[in-house]
């Protein structure tokens, strides 16, 4: 039996605590249905770093077990925050939790969901390791923990005894991975079907919201973005773009890189792919016509760039996201 402890603390995301626990419960129920003579594969407990009562982000009050002494695996959920600038304050207030995570290293396997990776990194568990976190928090994470090899596109990353999962509902992906590891792939598939969990997603990239990821732009960066968007279908020319701003190509390249962190061509490719995603979501235009509208006459090249960046083919992206909510 795998003993799982889920860390609860004030302001943590309740769905990541309760949702993970419920998926493990479903796995035990399905196991009992299929193998009634065998003991359940999992025991799951909600624990704290010595806190008697915990109020999760949604307002529910939890009475956790004081510590995870007998756990084989410690799960660390994310925390609520309103702005990226809040993260420093939130993490600074979680000293007991970070100390407990640090103490768990070497004694238990450890996994995080979403922003829980910040607490693992703060505890020193991720230095030099591969990891992921919520895509919306990736830039802040990389600034805080430059020695961590972060893959913001990954849904799950395993590095030794540590697993990190992506944004919010990736608690389901993490739970299914653990079920598959310890109860077998057949049980994990049954849990996914019973729970209506999409097991086809393997990357966070298709879910990136570029507006939420956008850093505060300088007036120059905004002007360059507007110019590139207005010339989205034109053949790219660094000289032409530089001339539009009365700059040499070298100076234009340097100023764009300073203002945006990207080259003008990378900036244009991002703008083109954003527009391609919108057209795939909201129109019936063919793939070739969409490619032409955003400046790609070579459809295979557009297809390869889209799949490499978004982690889905254009057709698969349309099937998944066409129509939206409502």
321 is written with which tokens? 């996201």
Helix (H, G, I), strand (E, B) or coil at 4: strand
For 40-93, give the DSSP string: -SEEEEEE-SS-S-EE-TTS-EE--BS--TT-SEEEE--B--SSGGGHHHHHHT
Q: Which residue reads 């459809």 in tokens?
A: 299
Q: Catalytic: which of 114, 150, 163, 170? A: 114
Instruction: Give the Cα separation of 149 and 197 in Å (integer).
Output: 28
Q: Reply yes or no on whether 114 is catalytic.
A: yes
In sequence order, the β-bridge partners of residue 55 are 61
Cα(44)–Cα(65) distance, integer angstroms: 11
Look up residue 182 and give its two tokens: 């310890």
Query: What pairs with residue 43 in β-bridges?
Result: 3
DSSP 12: B
- Residues carrying an active site annotation: 114
């Amino acid at each position: 039996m795998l003993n799982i402890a889920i860390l609860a603390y004030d302001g943590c995301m309740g769905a990541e605590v309760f949702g993970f626990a419920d998926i493990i419960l479903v796995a035990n129920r399905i196991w009992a249905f299929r193998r009634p003579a065998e003991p359940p594969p999992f025991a799951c407990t909600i624990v704290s770093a010595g806190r008697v009562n915990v109020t999760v982000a949604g307002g529910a009050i939890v009475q956790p077990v004081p510590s995870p002494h007998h756990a084989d695996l410690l799960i660390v959920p994310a925390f609520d925050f309103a702005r990226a600038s809040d993260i420093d304050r939130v993490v600074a207030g979680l000293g007991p939790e970070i100390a407990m995570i640090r103490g768990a290293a070497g004694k238990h396997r450890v996994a995080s969901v979403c922003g829980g990776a910040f607490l693992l990194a703060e505890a020193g568990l991720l230095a030099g390791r591969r990891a992921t976190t919520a895509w919306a928090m990736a830039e802040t994470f990389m600034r805080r923990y430059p020695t961590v090899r972060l893959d913001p596109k990954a849904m799950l990353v395993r590095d030794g005894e540590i697993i990190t999962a992506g944004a919010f509902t990736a608690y389901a992906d993490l739970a299914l991975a653990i079920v598959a590891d310890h109860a077998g792939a057949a049980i994990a598939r049954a849990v996914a079907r019973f729970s209506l969990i999409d097991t086809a997603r393997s990357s966070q990239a298709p879910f990136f919201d570029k507006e939420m990821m956008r850093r505060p732009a300088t007036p120059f960066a905004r002007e360059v973005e507007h110019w590139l968007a207005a010339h989205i279908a034109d053949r790219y020319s660094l000289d032409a773009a530089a001339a539009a701003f009365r700059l040499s190509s070298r100076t234009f390249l340097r100023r764009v890189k300073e203002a945006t962190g990207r080259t003008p061509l990378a900036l244009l490719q991002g703008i083109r792919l954003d527009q391609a995603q919108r057209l795939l979501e909201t129109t019936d235009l063919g793939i070739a016509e969409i490619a032409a509208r955003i400046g790609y006459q070579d459809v295979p090249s557009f297809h390869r760039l889209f799949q490499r960046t978004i982690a889905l083919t254009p057709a698969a992206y349309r099937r998944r996201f066409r129509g939206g909510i409502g």
